[in-house]
A and B are shown apart, each in its own frame.
Chain A
Amino acid sequence: MMESVLGYVSGSNLEVKLAFYAGLGALLVTAALILIIAILRVRLIMEERRNDSFIAEWRPIITRVSAGEPLADIFLPSIARKDMPMFLMLWNHYHGFLKGEALENLNALIRSTGMDVVARRWIDSRSRAKRFISVIALGRLRDKTRWEDMALLASGQDPTLSLMAAGSMALIDPARSAPVIIPLIIERRDWPANKVMDILSKADQSAISGPLVSAILNADEKEVLRLVPFLFLADKSLSGPAVRTLLERSQDPEMISACLKTVDDPSMLDMARSYLDHPVWYVRAQAATVLGKIGFEEDGKRLVGMLSDREWWVRYRAAHALTEMPSMQSFDFAKLIRESADKYAGDIMSQALAEKKLA
């Protein structure tokens, strides 16, 4: 059959030959792809089975150890080389949600199995997954022995791994990590702001405040805007004056708005008031929000005026600020709505009041 087909094709036109051999090529590629898929699948199944049996054996042990049962009373099976990643992942997993004495028990477990040594070794492994596991485990163990390698990873090219390393450094030694991490926060545009917030919020505020504020004030003007939101994680006695300095030296509406977002200090009330009639709407909206937090009764009148602003968001923020100001709690908003000559002002005030009632 095949011979007669080949015979027919060899005697045919160029286009038939082309089509036939293209089809034959596709068939061979398909067969190769099926083989690759089958190999991948078999490997996956074997790996899953091995992991399942390892977890079934170790989960009860970890539970007993974390509950406080002495290690001497528990038989600890030896851990095969292939199972080491799974052990450390399991250990990291439990360490992530347990608290108090259970963490000390888990630390004792990792040491008695010798897996802390493995975790230290893996920090410069060629496998990315092993480096991840190592960085997390060493952070949770507060292990300082591979500090320099950790710092190297924190300044490395892999954004996720570098962030993890920075986070672990902040856990291991908050004071020592600050001068390493803060310059990286300034330099690295590939670190998402939310992840940086996560690291800084876990770090010791007293250790990070000074270097953070100083780094932001001295950063390149283009970078400051990105960094201002981190100021709220710094000690207020340092972040307040820094925000004032930034506001005094900047005319950029985005910068003003970013700075105003961090303001909650009554000493900056006059400054906030000065932005209430700023030509850019989001600066006005932000200033209204600040007044809601730190304003007095006379600011209420200013905010009532802003209910007629041409921009919906300014009206919305002003209305909410009014409902949040402690000095306006006895104010007759229903009368304001009834008697308002501006329909938009009445509508937005009704909405803000309804939202507050349902909150």
Chain B
Amino acid sequence: MTLGQVAEFFQWMFIIYFLALNLGYIGLNLLSIVSVSGYMRKRAPSFLSSFYPGFEPPITVIVPAYNEMATISDSIRSFLQLQYSQFEIVVVNDGSSDDTLAMLTREFSLVPFPEAYRVRVGAKPVRGIYLSTTHSKLRVVDKENGGKADSLNAGINASRYPLFCAVDADSILQPDSLQRVVQPFIEDPRTIASGGTIRVANGCRVDHGFLLSVGLPGNLLALFQIVEYIRAFLFGRLGWSPLNALLIISGAFGLFNKERVIEAGGFHSDTIGEDMELIVRLHRINRLKRREYKITFVPDPICWTEAPEDFRTLINQRIRWQRGLSESLFSNIRLLFHPRGGAVGWLAFPFFMLFEWMGPLIETSGYIFTIVALPLGIIEPPIAAIFFMVSVGFGVMLSTTALLLEEMSFHLYSKPRHFATLMLVAVIENFGYRQFNALCRVWGITMFLSGKRGGWGAMRRTGGWTNQKGK
């Protein structure tokens, strides 16, 4: 085989992969457009809220906390103000080495509580359970360090209600977040899990855990992530939901049927992406047992989270996400093309394997091939330029579709300059940020294949979302 033939082979391989990938995303986009239009039509108009209260099922909000001393009090205070008929908050202090527990004790007047804690899913030993004397909805479980998944399991053991909502300690919720995310459980009793859209809080005005107004940050990395989040949630997830093939509900905010999660064995503490792994496992177990179930995505923006603004934290986060994706897919590989796999086993799982898991490897090898082939004269510079520009063109088109979905639904970024900025970001992210992201994910795959384990994946926070001013 000559060098020219090798080049031609790779060109065809990249083109076919690239077209399949983009056709897949375009298909998801179309599904999302139909889905979001239907949802917005069906959604009870906001003016009905006072006329349309509910007798919703009670919910336990589980908040795992590890060294969250700086923000935990504001977060819990905002969670306590959620508008919902009946809920409790269980904070799980995962053996923090800072003063998280002391801070909680001081702020919420905690007293030791003689609870008959029962172990239904495995978790590290509990050192004590505390109850707030000022907020009867609040309990704190103090346990030995075991990671986020282990803390969620301890929270499940301590929970009293049939539904539990897993929430990150730094998440910013909206007053109606629980009301929105519980709707699929009310409308369809087959629902076992539901999640909503997570948005980036950087640049927004937040005061003591409450989102006051939406804005854009000055930091370019955070801006890139805003476009990524809109893309990931508004078509990445919304597209899969009508097929009941949603493979991930974000760990930052997700609502689950407790008994079904316990039956599935709770969260696996030996995985790094415990949120996705649980969802894929729930699909696998329920599909293979031929049980009726639904895992639903609610497009409403119900949770805001701080995106990393420095490279080191971002790199760690992306590596962790790719490792989590790898673990979730490979530990449930039986679902792939299983005769009872349905839309999950035959569509979503192969899509994630081919494009989300292998995508970074193929994209990066494409860049490497181009860099090597250009000086050797195997491919001509104009051809390389055409391929690169096509890739940029499709990237921008997909981001623009996500922005259209945003405009059709919640139009949170209300100022014209917000839209102009996001459009500009959707273009420039293709020149460097996208490649950087692919490299981080390749690193994540390498670490997964080398079998390294992870812990909490500490995130460096600017703490800026408290009283932060938007642009």
Which residues of A approach B to under 8 Å, CB–CB?
8-9, 12-13, 15-16, 18-20, 22-24, 26-27, 29-30, 33-34, 36-37, 40-41, 44, 89, 92-93, 96-97, 128-129, 132, 136, 159-160, 164, 167, 190, 192-195, 197-198, 312, 315-316, 344, 347-348, 350-351, 354, 358-359
Is B386's CB under 8 angstroms from A192's CB? no
Interface: B387 (CB within 8 A): yes
Task: Say which residue of B133, B401, B411 sits within 8 Å of A33 (CB atoms).
Answer: B401
- Given the known A-B contacts A193-B55, A315-B116, A351-B115, are A160 and B44 also in contact in the complex, defined by CB atoms under 8 Å? yes
Is A198's CB under 8 angstroms from B396's CB? no
Is B404's CB under 8 angstroms from A37's CB? yes
CA distance A16 to B390 in the complex (A): 10
Distance (whole angstroms) from the CB of A83 to the closest CB of chain B:
15
Interface: B403 (CB within 8 A): yes
Is A22's CB under 8 angstroms from B54's CB? no
25 contacts between A and B (CB under 8 A): A9-B386, A15-B12, A16-B383, A16-B386, A20-B386, A22-B394, A30-B396, A33-B401, A34-B400, A41-B416, A41-B419, A92-B47, A129-B45, A132-B45, A132-B48, A160-B42, A164-B48, A167-B51, A193-B55, A194-B55, A194-B56, A198-B55, A351-B116, A358-B131, A358-B133
CA distance A358 to B110 in the complex (A): 12
Distance (whole angstroms) from the CB of B261 to the closest CB of chain A:
17
1/0 per residue, CB under 8 A from A, across B102-136: the answer is 00000000000111101000000000000101001
- Given the known A-B contacts A15-B11, A19-B15, A96-B50, are A36 and B386 also in contact in the complex, defined by CB atoms under 8 Å? no
CA distance A200 to B53 in the complex (A): 13
Instruction: Give me the 9 closest cross-chain CB pairs, A-B, nearest first.
Output: A23-B390, A194-B55, A26-B393, A347-B116, A350-B114, A192-B186, A194-B54, A23-B393, A26-B397
Interface: B412 (CB within 8 A): no
CA distance A27 to B395 in the complex (A): 10
Is A26's CB under 8 angstroms from B390's CB? yes
**Interfacial chain B residues near A93, Cβ < 8 Å:** 47, 50
**Interfacial chain B residues near A20, Cβ < 8 Å:** 386, 390
Which residues of B approach A to under 8 Å, CB–CB?
8, 11-12, 15, 19, 22, 41-42, 44-45, 47-48, 50-56, 113-116, 118, 131, 133, 136, 186-187, 382-383, 386-387, 389-390, 393-394, 396-397, 400-401, 403-404, 407-408, 411, 416, 419, 423
CA distance A159 to B44 in the complex (A): 10
Is A30's CB under 8 angstroms from B411's CB? no
Distance (whole angstroms) from the CB of A237 to the closest CB of chain B:
24
Is B116's CB under 8 angstroms from A350's CB? yes
| 10 other A-B residue contacts (CB within 8 Å) besides A18-B15, A164-B48 | A19-B15, A26-B397, A36-B404, A41-B411, A164-B51, A167-B51, A193-B186, A197-B55, A351-B114, A354-B131
**Interfacial chain A residues near B45, Cβ < 8 Å:** 129, 132
CA distance A344 to B118 in the complex (A): 10
**Interfacial chain A residues near B136, Cβ < 8 Å:** 358-359
Is A40's CB under 8 angstroms from B386's CB? no
**Interfacial chain B residues near A97, Cβ < 8 Å:** 50
Distance (whole angstroms) from the CB of B430 to the closest CB of chain A:
12
Most buried by B among A15, A34, A159: A15
CA distance A312 to B19 in the complex (A): 56
Is A44's CB under 8 angstroms from B411's CB? yes
Is A136's CB under 8 angstroms from B51's CB? yes
Is B133's CB under 8 angstroms from A41's CB? no
Minimum CB distance partner of A354 in chain B = B114
Task: Say which residue of A22, A24, A160, A347 sits within 8 Å of B19 (CB atoms).
Answer: A22
Task: Say which residue of B186, B383, B397 sits within 8 Å of A30 (CB atoms).
Answer: B397
Minimum CB distance partner of A196 in chain B = B55
**Interfacial chain A residues near B389, Cβ < 8 Å:** 23
Is B118's CB under 8 angstroms from A312's CB? yes
Is A194's CB under 8 angstroms from B419's CB? no
Distance (whole angstroms) from the CB of A273 to the closest CB of chain B:
25
Distance (whole angstroms) from the CB of B434 to the closest CB of chain A:
15
Is A22's CB under 8 angstroms from B118's CB? no
Most buried by B among A136, A160, A347: A160
Task: Say which residue of B52, B114, B400, B416 sits within 8 Å of A195 (CB atoms).
Answer: B52
